[in-house]
Structure 1
Amino acid sequence: VQMLTKGHHGVKLDAEAWDRLITWIDLNCPYHGTWGEDVGDPGRQRQRRRELLKLYGNVDDDPEAIPPPDPETIYSGHPEPIVSDPSRSRLPSGTSTDRNADTKRSRSASGTYQPILPDPPADLTPSPVICDKRSVELDDGLTMQLALIPAGEFIMGSALGADDEPPPTKVRIERPFWMGAHEITNQQYAQFDPSHDSHFETMLSACHGVHGHPVNRPEQPVVRVSWVQAMAFCRWLSEKTGYRFSLPTEAQWEYACRAGTATPMHYGDLNTDFSQFANMADAKLSHLARDWYILDKPIENPTKYDDWIPKDARFDDGAVLSIAPGKYRPNAWGLYDMHGNVAEWTATDYRPHRSGVVDGRDATITDGRKAVRGGSWRDRPKRCTSNFRLGYPPYQCVYNVGFRVVCE
């Protein structure tokens, strides 16, 4: 659904097609409609089941019958060809392409722009930047560390991403602001709502005798909090400290994540080894394929049916699920886990960037979907870039979405 919403291969669904797809999902993606499709001919059971249903339920129905399709519902046409958008191959005027190789372009014989892949960086250490830090006191001796993000300009969005990412637009952040160096943890959130539980992450197959993998430990980032709850936390924190806290806007979030870079990640491109920088879907994710009854026993050499989550198995960041923020290298402005670990709510309404108009992009004026950034432990790097976007309803509590705060 997320891929289709973001314009996957130019496919567009009408209202009826969306309704059918969502209904199928709501029905729990049925494995098989009949016993015969799963285990073979049920034999005498089929007829006996029908007899009892008719006798005691006054219903004459054969659950094993597969009705033929209605010829009128069969469509043999092909999707319309994708019309390329020339604007997606252009960068805004004034964009510097000298600092980052991945923003350079070369002309092909057809006249279209082609990306030039950058060379691997010689030094993966973020560029040192002098920035201020401050701490905010919470209850029970807890503190929250903030990093000062300077004012400046950057190119927001990407010409090479999904349909909701272009066009690249020059955006100016007029004033510096403080941003949480880390994602809000379960322990910090509990000062606001002691009843909240981030719960467990289920196993990749059936769970028998075990709950799954905990994501509700005090040091882990809080998840399964809605946008409404995250904003309520910000209001509580504002009243408690006397400072004005909120969620970051999309522009603030992407600007802070990039920290002066124009590469897909603040540490490099999609082929850069992220093991020291981010908790994303990697080789370690195979450890989620475990014995049904023994949580701490990963399956040796799991099949694709047990180990089915897409991942970049070239790298191993050492984490299976979300972990305590701050375990990986920060970006140049002292922010940790901007890529991966858990995705993060922003204050902004989710809307496409097609128009290229900045005014109103950061507005929060509707009850519609809200923008989420950064990707999580369950996402490959391409879904954790500085410009990748998702949108969720403000009431939805998502299993891998948390938040961090800004203070202005």
Structure 2
Amino acid sequence: IYAGPGLAGVPKGHVKGIKVYKYEYAPRRMGGHYAIGMEGPWDVRTVLGTVPVNEDGSVIFKAPANTPIAFAPIDAEGKALQMMRSWTTAMPGEVVSCVGCHEPQSMSPVSRPTIASQMAPKKLTPWLGGPVRGFSFNREIQPVLDQHCVGCHTSELAKKDGRPDFQDMKKSYSALHPYVRRNGPEGDYHLLTPLEFHADTSELIQILEKGHYNVKLDKVSEERLITWIDMNVPLHGSWSEAPGGNNPRSQGFISRRAEMRKCYADLDINPEEVLNPYTERVAYVPPVAKPEPPKATDTSSHWPIDPQKAKRMQQGKNPIEVDLGNGAIMKFVYIPAGEFITEEGKKTFIPKGYWMSNTEVSLRQFRQFKPDYKNGVYDMHYKDQVDRGYYMNDPDFPVIRVSWDGTQDFCNWLSAKVKRKVRLPTEQQWEWACRAGSAYPMNYGKIEDNFAAHANLSDVNMKKMAVKGVNPKPIKNPPPSLDFIPKIATVDDGVLHLAKVGSYQPNIWGLHDMHGNVAEWTDSTYKPGKKVIRGGSWRDRPYRAAAGYRLGFPSWQRVYNVGFRIIVED
């Protein structure tokens, strides 16, 4: 499984299993981009089961013949590490093999014996122990919402304050899917970065893992939610349930398909049969009230810092510039020593000053280290038959999809070049520099303040993601069904995705884009195996980009909206 570029950079042993699923293709005149889900799968997805992967990455299993199947390598939490957007089909009795994940056809198989080559094929373990069935939001996800969410996400409260409505089954799908990232029905068909659409890059999973009002999902609910994400957020679990699927013409096509399948593929199955009907709501189980830990009440006579005083703290330390080569200049500003009170009310000391790059590391700057590096492409909604999506390779954009481990390589390269210690800031150094003396969550003010001049965050420009046409262009005044990415629609920061580094007003200490544009790796540990990121990105609303907001990703993961900036010790 680790051979080939599909899982490049994923540590050996991280793949724990394979989730095997099949496609039920659209009957004649029924298919469409949004027939099965919004920006989701073209076709009905059915999980056939899972199989464990051996320690050496090999696996052997039995799969149904004459069936279009696909595989998803999964981690210990059952989350897909890569997406297979094609399929393979085996004849009865045929042995089909892969050399690795997305390996080139010219790649030769391994010459050494594998664990799988010395064992009998395994049977697939049925998904959640149940029957093979099309994945339906109403039957798989609505019960999770009923049990864990509808107590707070009611229709009444949704009308009052705009929170997602998970109580009304006609609205719950549309209310939940905006919080999930996924590759659309005609997204870039080139090989994706490993973990590009991993469930942990979705806001839904992030807020749950941060302890959203102490909501704790049981293992079955977690697996349902993760599989829904990895199946590309389907709504319907059969074509009979899709729009127009129950009319006589459509049912005629479906019946004829069943006849042909039995006659020519020897498959006597009925994908339209509902095997786990949603009959009644699961009782809501409120989360156990979690006592709030006492907030620290540290005080400091040196905090907050008056803007004029904060500026004076840099006196005698003018910005310095470093020539990386080929005209790529990196500018550093001095960040003085001091102390501040965190959002949790804890006094934090910064005992020594340091120099910090005034912008996020740009693609141009990073290319002096890796000349051929590309940021790649961002997914476009609907379909794009002209381009791969939105190209992010402007040299003045911040570099993205560099792992934390990759930032260490850059820092070591630059350290050798300038003969000084170069590294990432700790999260305490990052927050101190971001705040620049301000006790507010944003260095320019409150969460609700207009950020247009200060930060590239999720704003009204997100409406441009709603597109149409063969060469898609933004829809003027798009309907909510197409304009669904969470945003602050009253603010216009002028940019849809990435902005050129330094495009927005700096903070008092001369640092640009500490909020938004791209989130930034720090030198601190989030939890074992993960490193802290700070600052939020173009995809986030202000509260997710606040000075004290933190997330974490594995040090080897290349995240779509994460970059970095560096410091040089004084």
Is TM > 0.5 for Structure 1 vs Structure 2? yes
Q: Which amino acid is 1:56 matched to?
A: Y
- 1:350, 1:344 → 2: CA distance? 13
**Contact 2:310 / 2:437 at 8 angstroms: preserved in 1?**
no
Which residue among 344, 347, 359 is the counterpart of 2:520? 344
**Contact 1:209 / 1:292 at 8 angstroms: preserved in 2?**
no
* TM-score, L = length of structure 2: 0.59
Which residue number corresponds to residue 212 of structure 2?
Answer: 8
- List runs of 5+ in structure 1 lacking aligned partners: 101-123, 159-166, 352-365
Q: How many Å apart are 1:125 and its aligned residue?
A: 10
Q: Which amino acid is 2:490 matched to?
A: R
- 1:406, 1:43 → 2: CA distance? 64
Which residue among 493, 505, 509 is the counterpart of 1:333? 509
The question of 1:49 aligning with 2:257 is answered yes
Change (3 A) 1:168 1:223: same
State how 1:7-46 maps to structure 2 within 5 Å.
7-39=211-243, 40-41=245-246, 42-46=250-254
Change (3 A) 1:98 1:249: closer
Q: Which amino acid is 1:203 matched to?
A: M
1:296-318 Cα shifts (integer Å, max 9, x gaps): x4211111122111111121111
- 1:169, 1:343 → 2: CA distance? 23
* TM-score, L = length of structure 1: 0.81
**Contact 2:501 / 2:513 at 8 angstroms: preserved in 1?**
yes
Which residue number corresponds to residue 246 of structure 1?
Answer: 423
Moved more, 130-139 or 181-190: 130-139
State how 1:2-401 maps to structure 2 within 5 Å.
2-39=206-243, 40-41=245-246, 42-69=250-277, 75-87=282-294, 90-95=295-300, 128-129=311-312, 131=314, 132=317, 133-156=319-342, 158=343, 167-295=344-472, 297-351=473-527, 366=528, 368-401=529-562
The question of 1:405 aligning with 2:566 is answered yes
- 2:304, 2:437 → 1: CA distance? 10
Q: Which amino acid is 1:38 matched to?
A: A
Q: How many Å apart are 1:9 and its aligned residue?
A: 2.0
SS at match of 2:321: strand
1:58-108 Cα shifts (integer Å, max 9, x gaps): 22111111113599x985351334233151xx34232469959xxxxxxxx
1:228-267 Cα shifts (integer Å, max 9, x gaps): 1112111111122211111111111111101111101011
Q: How many Å apart are 1:37 and its aligned residue?
A: 1.5
- 1:150, 1:21 → 2: CA distance? 46
Find runs of 4+ consecutive structure 1 residues off by over 6 angstroms.
124-127
Q: How many Å apart are 1:191 and its aligned residue?
A: 1.3
SS at match of 1:350: strand
- 1:323, 1:94 → 2: CA distance? 37
Q: Which amino acid is 2:355 matched to?
A: W
SS at match of 1:391: strand
Count of aligned residue pairs for this structure pair: 358
**Contact 1:369 / 1:391 at 8 angstroms: preserved in 2?**
yes
**Contact 1:129 / 1:332 at 8 angstroms: preserved in 2?**
no
What's the RMSD between the two structures over aligned residues? 2.5
**Contact 2:459 / 2:488 at 8 angstroms: preserved in 1?**
yes
- List runs of 5+ in structure 2 lacking aligned partners: 1-204
Change (3 A) 1:15 1:406: farther
**Contact 1:340 / 1:374 at 8 angstroms: preserved in 2?**
yes
1:26-67 Cα shifts (integer Å, max 9, x gaps): 222224221111132221222222222222222211111111
SS at match of 1:38: coil
User: Quick one: percent identity of the two aligned structures?
Assistant: 42
Greater relative contact order (CA < 8 Å, ≥ 6 in sequence): 1
**Contact 1:250 / 1:348 at 8 angstroms: preserved in 2?**
yes
**Contact 1:223 / 1:399 at 8 angstroms: preserved in 2?**
yes
Q: How many Å apart are 1:201 and its aligned residue?
A: 1.6
